Structure 1
């Protein structure tokens, strides 16, 4: 019997909790409708600043490999081979050869190299990314030399020769975003989320936004048409 009484008392909401809930709802109703926008922007800026401070700096260095057509070959052939060599620049065979020749760790080569090609020129851009400037340049140069050796091994059949057009040098500034840029990006992303939240949230009623109460509809039977006129005739 005592346990049932305790359960019934615990199930009933406390008056103090109800009053606090009512005060909180009243304060939220008094806030302007656009309050999620600055709040989300502030949260996004805080998150971006934290990410910029915690994320370690990354450096990127780039080397260029050019495809030279053999005598009697046209430029379109060299452009096509440049696209093909750009796809195999980050393959296992090229990276393994770069590891054996330059002693750069294979894991660093796999996770820190990127190759891109141009649709207008037979040029391959090889970018190395690492935690230090010297390491990023070593990765880019090692892969560029390995790709050149791989391509020149079949030059008699492809009639296209590869050569290192420009070696990578140690960068001065990191490629990762700085703290101010990360903060600005986070603020913009938070502001965008706040704007989307304003679009999808239900709009307040005009009376509720000013604290006015909407009168409840009156209950009771609705008189039939002509009932008032019949009542007046009966009184007469």
Structure 2
């Protein structure tokens, strides 16, 4: 393994979940099967009403790198991510959604990319799969180098991100229902100055039935909320950014 990373770097992986028994096992397996081994997997349960707790407890007994955390009450992904960040012990913090999966060399390649170039905030390309794990022949790319203004017009894949908490510190987000991952990346890039992308597909984002076209107006509302309420961007530029996002994302998806 490049640079003997397992002996030098410890990573905290944060996985928020809520009633996701259908897919969480595959997501956990994709983490445990990583060629890079020196990590803790923090599964943060948002008070699931299915068998999530007992399942994670069982997996903990099989692999001590798994830790089970739970919100005091059902609170949403932002609160779950904050709890994971709070208890994370790793020099690096990575994120994965409980229905996404990683390629087995994802951590090894991305951490080497960071260490060899002294990058503090990174992402990768990713593809899309359906609920049966079929590749949908869709690859989501990202610019190699992105600054804050660039990131206002783009969003990296949540399950691809790693940042250096030892050098940048930890980042917490307000309790916003949607686009909370995007809000976190905007916080990180203000400290890191740049986001660097490894141009390899190392993660798969799972699309569920109806997820592409549902709640489009709701997503527009939350983009506007991020720009105006949290980033304090003036109304004219916020309008431009929101319209830009509509054209780039919603209309593009609608053509598929």
TM-score (norm 1): 0.21
Q: Name the larger-Rg structure.
A: 1
Higher strand share: 2
The structure, 1 or 2, with the larger RCO (C-alpha pairs under 8 Å, 6+ apart) is 1
Higher helix share: 1
